């Protein structure tokens, strides 16, 4: 953090210096004005007042000019700091666990903005207040020592006790949490409107959102009352201290002029110190953001995978999100091999693919890999034509290449049926695609540039079993001789792969050609047998005359879908997104 802000400190120092001069001028202006008024009441010769008149004028002009300079230099410094910090923060985030939701992402953006707030509305006012208050106390003490002590006491309460109360009051303030809850409730109402209506749950959901809103209103009211009380307390303290300072000056034998000068000086000094209450509240509000950014920047950089190898090799690679997702995985895939990755849900298949693609965090170990193309489950379909979506991967591809890619992905017939063909507009603001169409479009886009290494995460998950097998077979055929790694839940068609990796709880528990894995007892064989039993039970249910019991496992036969105890996706026709 310091490294990023280093070049900012000088500008910020200049801004603070300008702020200090502006506030000292404001204090001087008040003190001189008090002197001028009380001296004028004594009706001296005009020449006796001229110095005071010039002084008031000079202080007023200088105060305005230096306040302007302070704003200019302060905002310049803060904006430069934020401009430098933002790319650093994004860079630090690269390679770390992906932020899972928009809220976290926007926090990353607003966290950086908080630094600007902290510099301009907390740090700068605090330093200015400290210097000006000290200067005012010294000046007051020089005129009347007793009054200086009273002023010091008053300022101390305003600078310490009121901000402390503001911090305490802010800690009790749950407005931010309430706002977040209300936002979630509102998002549920909007996004889930159809489901709520279908289940007759709209009134209950609206009532819940209204409860949040009412609670927030009540808490907002309480917070506003607390902050007004602190404001009023500050103003009362300011007045009481000014009166006490004036009084103590008179008691010390000062003239009315001297007493008025220190009294007004005290009033002006408070003007600089009272904003500390608000600064303290802001500090409490923005400090967590500063902590998050400091931690992110201080964390050691994560080594990104090396992209200079012909083959893919993982050496004792581990990957963590908030808990381990891959543990000590070692793997070599020579160029041209076709590898299938199977395993239960949450076994770490997508993470492994992400590591191979350089998209998932590596917390230990070493990755060697060539340039890869990866199709992740949440790959994006752009609001554009089918052609534009495809050309994104290979801008120079001609029509026959486009047709070949979509044919391999099993989408050519559907595109031909569209009136606009390849010019059909799809995506957010275009024609809605079914899960299977979307998935095949993404697959075609990945196949189009014919990459040397292609990583596919469940590329046929949303397709009907027969079509899924057909598409996978076409992909294998099209990719013959090129490295292809496919995460899949379907056991059918695995015989086409050179090797099958079985993952369990983040570790590779078995690997080898399909025929070898299925021939020996082990995790893969268990999955295979379980699948065979499931399939025969389904067949028996569909056709009671066919007989369902006593299923035998024939390693030569495809099994269908890999069973997962908690799996709902095998029955779900649409893609996850
Ligand atoms: N971005 C993430 N942040 C935090 N945890 C994650 C993230 N992605 C995956 N995980 C966790 O890592 C573990 C492995 O997840 P992964 O998606 O790799 O499994 P998978 O075998 O592909 O599962 P599935 O078959 O359901 O897609 C899981 O426990 C999952 O909850």
Residue pLDDT, tens place only, 412-446:
999 999 999 999 988 765 677 888 899 899 999 99
324-333 and 312-320 beta bridge pairing: antiparallel
At residue 314, φ and ψ (nearest 5 deg) are -110, 135
Q: Are residues 484 and 561 in the same domain?
A: yes
Q: Are residues 321 and 281 in the same domain?
A: no
Across 57-122, where does the E strand assignment appear? none
Q: Which CATH number belongs to the domain containing residue 172 in this structure? A: 1.20.1560.10
Question: Residue 358: CB within 6 Å of ligand 1?
Answer: no
From 266, 298, 330, the end of a domain falls on 298
- Please report whether residue 333 resides in a domain: yes
Q: How many CA atoms lie within 13 A of 96 on its CB side?
A: 15
Domain that holds residue 345: 312-372+451-571
CA distance readout (Å), 451 to 276, 411, 455, 474: 61, 20, 10, 16
483-487 and 499-504 beta bridge pairing: unpaired
Question: Residue 542: CB within 6 Å of ligand 1?
Answer: no
The model's pLDDT over 26-68, given as tens digits with 9 standing for 90+, comes to 999 999 999 999 999 888 888 889 999 999 999 999 999 999 9
Q: Considering Cα of 528, then 531, then 537, then 540, what sign does the dihedral take?
A: negative
How buried is 69 (Cβ within 10 angstroms: 0-12 exposed, 13-18 middle, 19+ buried)?
Answer: middle
pTM for the complete prediction?
A: 0.57
Q: Are residues 364 and 219 in the same domain?
A: no
User: Looking at ligand 1, which atom is closest to the CA of residue 354?
Assistant: 18
Q: Are residues 162 and 76 in the same domain?
A: yes
Report the separation in Å between the CA atom of 345 and the middle of ligand 1, taken as the mean of its atom positions: 8
- Please report whether residue 510 resides in a domain: yes
Q: Are residues 11 and 39 in the same domain?
A: yes
Q: Are residues 262 and 335 in the same domain?
A: no
Q: Are residues 334 and 209 in the same domain?
A: no
CA gap 180, 550 in Å, rounded: 56
Q: Are residues 56 and 138 in the same domain?
A: yes
Q: How many domains does the chain have?
A: 2
Question: Residue 444: CB within 6 Å of ligand 1?
Answer: no
Beta bridge partners of 490: 561
Crossing angle (nearest 10°) for helices 2-41 and 256-273: 150
Report the separation in Å between the CA atom of 482 and the middle of ligand 1, taken as the mean of its atom positions: 27
How buried is 45 (Cβ within 10 angstroms: 0-12 exposed, 13-18 middle, 19+ buried)?
Answer: exposed
CB 80 within 8 A of CB 8: yes
Nearest to 363 by CA among 303, 310, 415: 303
- Please report whether residue 388 resides in a domain: no
Q: Length of the chain in residues, anyone?
A: 577
ipTM: 0.95
CA gap 65, 342 in Å, rounded: 71
Report the separation in Å between the CA atom of 99 and the middle of ligand 1, taken as the mean of its atom positions: 13
- Please report whether residue 361 resides in a domain: yes
CA distance readout (Å), 437 to 105, 362, 386, 432: 29, 33, 11, 9
Q: Are residues 211 and 127 in the same domain?
A: yes
Alpha helices in 299-368 (DSSP H): 349-357
Question: Residue 348: CB within 6 Å of ligand 1?
Answer: yes
CA gap 77, 83 in Å, rounded: 10
Q: Going by CA atoms, what residue is nearest to atom 31 of ligand 1?
A: 346
CB 107 within 8 A of CB 180: no
Number of C-beta neighbours around residue 234 at 10 A: 21
- Please report whether residue 303 resides in a domain: no
Q: Which CATH number belongs to the domain containing residue 549 in this structure? A: 3.40.50.300
Question: Residue 393: CB within 6 Å of ligand 1?
Answer: no
Question: Residue 261: CB within 6 Å of ligand 1?
Answer: no
User: Looking at ligand 1, which atom is closest to the CA of residue 100?
Assistant: 1
Q: Going by CA atoms, what residue is nearest to atom 14 of ligand 1?
A: 348
Report the separation in Å between the CA atom of 329 and the middle of ligand 1, taken as the mean of its atom positions: 16
- Tokens 């060697």 belong to 368
Task: Using 50 as the pLDDT threshold, list the residues of the chain that sit under it.
Answer: 99-102, 547-553, 555-577
Question: Residue 98: CB within 6 Å of ligand 1?
Answer: yes
Report the separation in Å between the CA atom of 347 and the middle of ligand 1, taken as the mean of its atom positions: 7
User: Looking at ligand 1, which atom is closest to the CA of residue 352?
Assistant: 18
The pLDDT value given to residue 466: 82
Report the separation in Å between the CA atom of 350 and the middle of ligand 1, taken as the mean of its atom positions: 7
Residue 187's contacts (CB-CB under 8 Å, 6 or more residues apart) are none
Nearest to 355 by CA among 495, 567, 501, 570: 501
* Cα–chain center distance at 158: 37
At residue 315, φ and ψ (nearest 5 deg) are -120, 110
- Please report whether residue 146 resides in a domain: yes
Mutate to test the pocket of ligand 1, among 348, 486, 566 (most ligand atoms within 8 A of CB): 348
Q: Going by CA atoms, what residue is nearest to atom 9 of ligand 1?
A: 351
Q: Are residues 201 and 226 in the same domain?
A: yes
Question: Residue 324: CB within 6 Å of ligand 1?
Answer: no
Residue 505 DSSP one-character state: T
Question: Residue 350: CB within 6 Å of ligand 1?
Answer: yes
Mutate to test the pocket of ligand 1, among 350, 462, 489 (most ligand atoms within 8 A of CB): 350
Question: Residue 361: CB within 6 Å of ligand 1?
Answer: no
Token representation of residue 428: 């957010």
- Please report whether residue 353 resides in a domain: yes
Q: Are residues 140 and 162 in the same domain?
A: yes
- Please report whether residue 382 resides in a domain: no
Q: Are residues 278 and 317 in the same domain?
A: no
Question: Residue 100: CB within 6 Å of ligand 1?
Answer: yes
User: Looking at ligand 1, which atom is closest to the CA of residue 343?
Assistant: 21
């Amino acid at each position: 953090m310091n490294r990023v802000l280093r070049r900012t400190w000088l500008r910020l120092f200049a801004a603070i210096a300008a702020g200090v001069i502006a506030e000292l001028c404001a204090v001087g202006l008040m003190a001189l004005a008090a002197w001028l008024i009380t001296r004028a009441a004594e009706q001296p010769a005009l020449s006796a007042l001229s110095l005071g008149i010039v002084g008031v004028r000079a202080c007023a002009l200088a105060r305005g000019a230096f306040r302007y300079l302070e704003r200019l230099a302060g905002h310049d410094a803060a904006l430069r700091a934020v401009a430098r910090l933002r790319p650093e923060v994004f860079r630090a985030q690269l390679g770390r666990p992906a932020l899972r939701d928009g809220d976290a992402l926007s926090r990353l953006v607003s966290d950086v903005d908080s630094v600007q707030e902290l510099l301009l509305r907390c740090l700068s006012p605090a330093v200015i207040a400290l210097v000006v208050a000290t200067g005012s106390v010294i000046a007051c003490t020089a005129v009347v020592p007793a009054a200086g002590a009273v002023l010091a006491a008053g300022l101390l309460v305003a600078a310490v006790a009121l901000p402390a109360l503001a911090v305490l009051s802010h800690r009790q303030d749950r407005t931010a949490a309430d706002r977040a809850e209300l936002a979630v409730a509102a998002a549920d109402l909007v996004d889930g409107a159809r489901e709520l209506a279908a289940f007759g749950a709209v009134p209950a959901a609206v009532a819940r959102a209204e409860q949040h809103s009412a609670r927030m209103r009540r808490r907002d009211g309480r917070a506003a009352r607390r902050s007004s009380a602190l404001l009023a307390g500050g103003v009362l303290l300011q007045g009481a201290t000014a009166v006490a300072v004036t009084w103590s000056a008179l008691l010390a034998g000062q003239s009315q002029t001297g007493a008025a000068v220190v009294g007004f000086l005290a009033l002006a000094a408070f003007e600089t110190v009272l904003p500390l209450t608000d600064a303290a509240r802001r500090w409490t509000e923005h400090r967590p953001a500063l902590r998050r950014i400091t931690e992110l920047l201080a964390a050691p950089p994560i080594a990104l995978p090396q992209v200079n190898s012909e083959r893919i090799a993982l050496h004792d690679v581990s990957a963590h999100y908030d808990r381990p997702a891959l543990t000590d995985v070692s793997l070599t895939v020579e160029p041209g091999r076709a590898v299938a990755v199977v395993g239960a849900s949450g076994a770490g298949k997508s993470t492994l693919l992400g590591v191979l693609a350089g998209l998932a965090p590596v917390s230990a170990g070493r990755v060697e890999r060539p340039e890869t193309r990866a199709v992740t489950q949440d790959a994006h379909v752009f609001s554009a034509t089918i052609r534009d979506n495809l050309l994104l991967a290979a801008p120079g591809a001609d029509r026959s290449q486009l047709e070949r890619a979509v044919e391999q992905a099993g989408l050519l017939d559907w595109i031909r049926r569209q009136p606009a063909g390849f010019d059909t507009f799809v995506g957010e603001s275009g024609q809605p695609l079914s899960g299977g169409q979307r998935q095949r479009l993404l697959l075609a886009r990945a196949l189009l540039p014919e990459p040397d290494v292609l990583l596919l995460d469940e590329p046929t998950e949303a397709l009907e079993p027969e079509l899924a097998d057909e598409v996978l077979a076409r992909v294998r055929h099209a990719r013959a001789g090129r490295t292809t790694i496919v995460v899949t839940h379907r056991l059918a068609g695995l015989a086409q792969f050179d090797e099958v990796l079985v993952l369990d709880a983040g570790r590779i528990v078995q690997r080898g050609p399909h025929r070898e894995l299925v021939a020996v007892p082990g995790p893969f064989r268990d999955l295979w047998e379980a699948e065979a039993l499931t399939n025969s039970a389904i067949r028996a249910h569909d056709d009671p005359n066919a007989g369902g019991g006593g299923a035998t496992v024939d390693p030569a036969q495809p099994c269908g879908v890999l069973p997962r105890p908690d799996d709902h996706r095998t029955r779900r026709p649409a893609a996850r997104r």
